[in-house]
Amino acid sequence: MLPQFLRGCKNTQFYAINLTRYMKNHPAHAHKLRRNTCYRFLITIALLTPLLQACAQNPPRPVRADSFFGVHFDFHATNKDKQIGQTVTPAMVDQFLTTVRPDFIQVDAKGNPGVASFYTKVGKQGGIVKDQLKIFRQVTAKRGVALYAHYSSLVDYEIAQTRPEWAIMDAAGKKNTERISFFSDYVDKYFIPQIKEISDYGLDGMWVDADNYVVKTDYSPAALKAYSASRGKKATRALDVDKKDYLQFTREAYRKYLNHYVRAIKKYNPKFEIGSNWAFTSRMPGPVDAPVAFLSGDLASNIVSEINFENYGMASQGLPWDLMSWAANTDNHRFKYHWKSPVQLQQHAALTLSLGGAYELYIVQNRDGAIPQDNLMLQTAKEVRDFCFERKPFCFKSTTIPQVALFVSAAGHYRESQHPFNSDNQGSTFASTTLDMLLDAKYSVQMLNEHNLKGKTAKYPLIVIPQTNYIEPAMVNEFKAYVKNGGRIVVIGPSVSKMLTSNLGNGTSYGDNAGLTMESFSYGKGVVLSVIPRMSLKELKQREDQIKNTVATALAKIFPNPLVSIDSSSNIHLHTAAKNGETLINLVNVSKVYASGGGSLPNTIKPTPPLKVTLRMDKKPSSIKWQPDNTNINFSYSNGLVMFTTPPLDMYSIIQVK
């Protein structure tokens, strides 16, 4: 013990001098002091050793914002799964991580059946032989790979059937046997406590499945009570509510629920990152008003237009985002191969990476939670990962250069939709078709709602508005002011055309082409081009190519000088972006992937011929390269035009302009 006059001493020099004098004058006490100090030092070392070893063994793991490529695993455990973890080994996990080298992986914790595949004190767990979640955490930590849990929230068969008071109720008063009410005690007494258990495993976050996109209108007593309080009018049954208003109330209530559980977990573990499958995407348009760490959605489709629509719905939301492709074929009656080919998945990845996003593969775990021991799967995942990382320096976290804004009215979407959240209305169909048309015409596009276009219209040389039955009046006024000041707008469809051109007088006819009535309206310094189809959606689909070409010709007249023009009939999509002061032109070959060599699995894509490109720039570039090949491209520069010809495009390349 130190003498009284030295305790709490903050003057280092005084302390050292006087301690030395004291020990010299009190040799017995000095010996005891040295011994105690030595003991304290050894104890401190003993306590710090595991921590120091852990720090030395476990490299830092990337947060979601810095994660570029990941792999999602799940198996939706059931009561029949009695051997969970049996064949899961550290070596198995390590082999996968060593071969594929993802930034993060996601593994099963609880799927739709409601049976946990980890040890839980809160809910029902399956037959666990070995703690697969613990094994995944230990190995990923050593490898510096982030680990997220897959967890189904609002679909839980077990809870809906054993705790029916927590299930949603339909308009007829019948309890649902699968879906859970977020108006019930389930959220605070089951869902949040179980997420905390997952957090205690040391995981980096969670990918919440079966959340917003499964939401249905709930007429349980708790839901109707909340509606009554919200609207100030008593409602005790479904007949007491206005259907449209109840849909909107359900959306508002879901957003409160999402905020509630995310904030509760962030309070418990501030570093735990949460994303909800398809939240704040094309299926739930509008501002991100919950503290989720990232956006994400899984997609089984191989159709380019469907992949694009979901990508563009996430790309402009201002958060880290990724698209997850199912690596397995969903139509195995056509293919004798279980896994999609690397070329198919590389095309999916290219469509995503070209917009600055991250990419994920979805692989189903075995029924015991093990990673499938399939060399073809392993090689496919590795090839896709390598394809992505070759292009990462030129696309990840790039910033879109404004060119064409495709405005999708979130207000119109929710007025037309028959469900709380989903792309189930004609407005979404028109938006998807219009996006497809613009991309096929080789325009660089951003898909925007009110919240990320309002006040920013002047940035865009061209705005395109597909058919919708409603646009907020303030947004209509901004569009008119934009045109008056020199902007160009294309409106497609009778309702939206009426909103923008009703007070602009008579238009100049572009003629009757392909069943379309097209008129140009001058207003101030700008112009509005009205395109009105005189046919059904079915007929539009049947004549899609003809209509696309007709509209593309009209677009070229009112927007003749985009930043990038490509003189080619090849099936390519482009996206212009900037990163580190460089202009980046992303080019994706969207030709159909086909089977070659007599096989049935689509595994080949035909390269395009060389592409003639015109780029508009104020200054002559210092260099132009074809990436990731790092090949120099010869170019000419005159009167603000940079002209060059690229090599053939295999799948996805980036023109890097310095």
pLDDT tens, position by position, 354-364 = 999 999 999 99
Mean pLDDT, residues 318-342: 83
CATH number given to 403-558: 3.40.50.880
- pLDDT number for residue 542: 66
- pLDDT number for residue 337: 63
The model's pTM:
0.89
The token duo for 418 is 């028959």
**CA 343 to each of CA 116, 163, 389, 595: distance values in angstroms, whole numbers, following the listed order:** 35, 46, 15, 11
Check whether 48 has a pLDDT greater than 60: no
pLDDT in tens, 539-595: 666 677 777 888 888 899 999 999 999 999 999 999 999 999 999 999 999 999 988
Confidence of residue 17 (pLDDT cuts 50, 70, 90): low
| β pairing state of 445-448 and 404-407 | parallel
Residues 489, 482 contacting (CB under 8 angstroms): yes
pLDDT in tens, 443-472: 999 999 999 999 999 999 999 999 999 999
- pLDDT number for residue 397: 97
Decide which of 5 and 292 is more confident: 292
Check whether 15 has a pLDDT greater than 50: no
Whether residue 628 is preceded by a cis peptide bond, meaning omega within 30 degrees of 0, is yes
Owner of token pair 């104020």: 618
| β pairing state of 104-110 and 516-523 | unpaired
CATH 3.40.50.1100 fits 564-657, yes or no: no
Decide which of 388 and 46 is more confident: 388
**CA 156 to each of CA 85, 177, 210: distance values in angstroms, whole numbers, following the listed order:** 22, 9, 9
Mean pLDDT of the chain: 91
Residues 275, 205 contacting (CB under 8 angstroms): yes
| Nearest by Cα to 355 from 618, 34, 97, 576 | 576
Of 330-339, 373-382, 426-435, where does the model show the most confidence? 373-382
Domain coordinates of the chain in residue numbers? 4-57, 67-168+178-213+273-395, 403-558, 564-657
Q: 290-294, 311-315, 329-333, 389-393: lowest mean pLDDT where?
A: 329-333
Q: How far apart are CA 439 and CA 152, in angstroms?
A: 35
Residues 159, 166 contacting (CB under 8 angstroms): yes
Strand partners, 176: none
Mean pLDDT, residues 155-171: 97
The architecture (CATH level 2) of 67-168+178-213+273-395 comes to Alpha-Beta Barrel (3.20)
Confidence of residue 5 (pLDDT cuts 50, 70, 90): very low
Confidence of residue 331 (pLDDT cuts 50, 70, 90): low
The token duo for 5 is 């006059």
- pLDDT number for residue 503: 84
Q: How far apart are CA 212 and CA 422, in angstroms?
A: 9
Residue type, 54: A
Q: How far apart are CA 529 and CA 422, in angstroms?
A: 30
Check whether 57 has a pLDDT greater than 80: no
Check whether 396 has a pLDDT greater than 80: yes
Decide which of 425 and 510 is more confident: 510
Residue 167 Cα to chain centre, angstroms: 29
- pLDDT number for residue 426: 64
Q: How far apart are CA 312 and CA 323, in angstroms?
A: 11
